[in-house]
């Protein structure tokens, strides 16, 4: 399969710093990249899809956005991507709206704290706080039926959250991991083969370093999901991109779930690169992928 022409348009839609610029001043480039990601939302994601009820809520101190397509809907806790260092409610608003509309499920999008200002475990703590609030206090939804969904670094948080909830005896019903970050060793061949398509291995190494700071144990299951006992985790849908450094580790995680007896569907989208699913205005495959996510959630939560 060849690289889809829409990848070139997507890469041109948002400026990205060179490796030399990142090495010279990582924080200045991070701030610029955060701003560029937000500025490109309209071009990348298109106009917002109307949802019956959308509100920003304070989930025990964590800012979240709740999308409710119909009263009493089951809920998806959504954790955005961005290498744990960027991304926001705004950058993933379009994807959350599409998922809510197509699935009939409510979506609670979590604006967790970002590294390096707030390194590990801040993002995971915020995700758990938002989930606790959702179960206790969210109005207009059915919080007895909850799934978790995340893309990229949000996929990492989603995988860890699903395992921690299993261990706590409060299991989630389903997990959706969209090109998830899984392996802190970055040992997969895809890092060597696919570093020229928007997400570079050097950038991913910097994201890991900023996320973990001085606190993270790279062998802990909270950092490396493959280090955990995976038996008994909720059924999973994992999407990967053919031209993505994260492709191999996401697919390996799916294989490990299956080996542990966890129902899992792993779908590799051909011709596309990292980050395509939220870019609904640039990729034909983005709508297809978002609708596959929505269909999986609908089947898991409303059957």
The list of the chain residues with pLDDT below 70 reads 1, 19
Name the 3-class secondary structure at 230.
coil
Q: How far apart are the first and last CA of the chain?
A: 36
pLDDT of residue 24: 80
Q: Render pLDDT for 80-102 as a digit per residue (tens, 0 to 9).
A: 999 999 999 999 999 999 999 99
**Number of domains present in the structure of the chain:** 1
Contacts of 265 (CB under 8 A, 6+ apart): 236, 237, 238, 254, 296
Is 167 a known active-site residue?
Answer: no
What domain range is 214 assigned to? 5-302
Residue of 101, 126, 244, 248 marked catalytic: 244
Residue of 93, 152, 183, 222 marked catalytic: 152
Is 274 a known active-site residue?
Answer: yes
Residue of 4, 80, 156, 274 marked catalytic: 274
Q: Which residues of 56-71 are buried (b: 16+ CB within 10 A; e: fewer)?
A: ebebeebbbbbbbbee
Q: What is the CA radius of gyration of the chain?
A: 18
Cα–Cα nearest to 37, from 91, 97, 79? 91
pLDDT of residue 1: 61
pTM of the model: 0.97
Q: What is the CATH number of the domain that holds 261?
A: 3.40.50.1820
The answer to whether 253 and 260 have CB atoms below 8 angstroms apart is: no
pLDDT of residue 293: 98
Tell me the two tokens of residue 18: 């060179």
Is 152 a known active-site residue?
Answer: yes
The H or E element containing residue 271 is strand 264-273
The H or E element containing residue 77 is strand 73-79
């Amino acid at each position: 399969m060849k690289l889809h022409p829409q990848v070139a348009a997507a890469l041109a839609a948002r400026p990205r710093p060179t490796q030399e610029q990142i090495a010279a001043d990582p924080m200045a480039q991070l701030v610029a990249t955060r701003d560029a990601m937000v500025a490109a939302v309209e071009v990348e994601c298109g106009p917002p899809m109307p949802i019956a009820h959308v509100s920003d809520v304070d989930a025990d101190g964590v800012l979240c956005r709740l999308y409710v397509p119909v009263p009493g809907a089951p809920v998806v806790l959504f954790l955005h991507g961005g290498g744990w260092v960027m991304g926001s409610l705004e950058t993933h608003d379009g994807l959350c709206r599409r998922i809510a509309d197509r699935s009939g499920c409510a979506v609670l999008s979590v604006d967790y704290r970002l590294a390096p200002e707030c390194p590990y475990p801040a993002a995971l703590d915020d995700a758990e706080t938002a989930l606790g609030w959702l179960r206790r206090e969210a109005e207009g939804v059915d919080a007895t039926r909850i799934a978790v969904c995340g893309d990229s670094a949000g996929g990492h948080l989603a995988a860890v959250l699903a395992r921690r909830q299993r261990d706590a005896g409060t299991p989630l019903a389903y997990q959706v991991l969209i090109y998830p970050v899984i392996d802190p060793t970055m040992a997969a061949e895809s890092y060597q083969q696919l570093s020229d398509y928007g997400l570079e291995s050097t950038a991913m190494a910097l994201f890991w370093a900023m996320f973990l700071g001085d606190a993270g144990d790279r062998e802990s299951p909270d950092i490396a999901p493959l280090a955990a006992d995976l038996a008994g985790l909720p059924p999973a849908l994992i999407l990967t991109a053919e031209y993505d450094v994260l492709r191999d580790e996401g697919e390996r995680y799916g294989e490990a779930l299956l080996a542990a007896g966890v129902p899992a569907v792993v779908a590799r989208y051909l011709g596309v690169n990292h980050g395509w699913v939220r870019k609904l205005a640039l990729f034909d495959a983005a709508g297809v992928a978002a609708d596959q996510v929505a269909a999986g959630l609908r089947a898991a939560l409303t059957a």
